[in-house]
Amino acid sequence: MASQGLDGGRPLNEVFTGRATRSLRRARIVDRFATGLMWAAALMLVAVLFAVIASLLIAGIPAFSPEFLFTPGTFTNPGIGPQIWCTFYVLFLTLLIVVPIGTGAAVYMSEYARPGKLTNIIRFSTESLASVPSIVYGVFGSIVFLVMMGLGYSILSGSLTLALLNLPLMVRVAEDAIRSVPGSYREASLALAGSKWETTRKVVLPAALPGLLTAIVLTAGRIIGETAPLILTMGTTISPNAYYSLNPLSTGETLAVHIWVIKIIGLPGVPNSQAAADGSAAVLLLMVLVINIFVAYFNTRLERRLRGAAPPPRAGGSKKVGT
């Protein structure tokens, strides 16, 4: 016999079932609403990304030509060949400093450092340096590298300043990548009589390589896009005075600085300067996109290889295995 309740004389089991049904219905409505909200946010990000890419490419691609991309600019025809070269040169020199030091610091913080005051001070210093505005690094670089070390306005001064600016980012992301390696990998290596250094070098770092590549890409994107530190340490160059050079003590101008000069200061007497700025922005965007796409593709293949997964079969290339 069903127990009687106080809700209009209905049995308690019907009352509880009705409440549970209403609660489940509300939970489903809230879940669908939250799911739709998250989808809308994700689609908005994608739409904003494509809007930025499309607007820059539509405005900049008409300026593309072999003379524009590969030759120095003149007072009659704009060209960004030396600026593209300088961008890659500064990127190479900066990563040459940042990657070994940042990876080494990340390995120490994640594998060797013991919890304590020193570790807390190092981590706090890294976080504090990451929050310092880039213009402050530019002032510091101009004081130390230009005045105290006597390097003057040069590519080397700019690269050293960008290295200081991006070291905290590299350390943080690389440390997270190394910490994400499962502890069972380390235990298996130590169980096979591997030393701490052998475990780090042959097991941990290869497993963390996809995350380390992500850290390098994030650092590279920030290096390519910086302007304020380079203006204060490398200076700016009028396009007709730009040239190709491997000398790190020579002055130069990256694409980001070149865009800033054209858009903010302007180049009086140079025709089509705004079209040159749009073309330079499109080239800079394509450089970043190509680097990100290449690293994402490489990371996918690397992760598949680390997990031991076989590559996807080729279309029409499968063969029957007979007995």
User: For the chain, what are the domain ranges?
Assistant: 76-304
The token duo for 99 is 């990657």
**What is the model's pTM?**
0.80
Q: What does the angle CA 187 – CA 188 – CA 193 come to, to the nearest 5 degrees?
A: 95
Cβ 251 vs Cβ 36: under 8 Å: no
| CATH superfamily, region 76-304 | MetI-like (1.10.3720.10)
One-letter amino acid at 182 equals: P
Other beta carbons within 10 Å of 238: 13
User: Mind listing the pLDDT tens digit of every residue in the chain (323 residues)?
Assistant: 445 444 555 555 555 566 667 777 888 888 889 999 999 999 999 999 899 889 989 988 888 888 888 888 766 777 888 889 999 999 999 999 999 999 999 999 888 888 888 888 888 888 888 888 999 999 999 999 998 998 888 899 999 999 999 999 999 999 999 998 888 888 888 888 888 888 898 889 988 988 899 899 989 989 998 998 999 998 876 655 567 888 888 888 889 998 888 887 766 666 677 888 888 899 999 998 898 888 888 888 887 877 764 445 455 444 444 43
Gap between the Cα atoms of 235 and 232, Å rounded: 6
Cβ 253 vs Cβ 261: under 8 Å: yes
Rounded alpha-carbon distances, angstroms, from residue 104 to 108, 141, 172: 6, 23, 12
Closest CA to 212 of 131, 293, 98: 98
Other beta carbons within 10 Å of 284: 23
Gap between the Cα atoms of 102 and 83, Å rounded: 27
Residue 172 C-alpha from the chain's centroid = 12
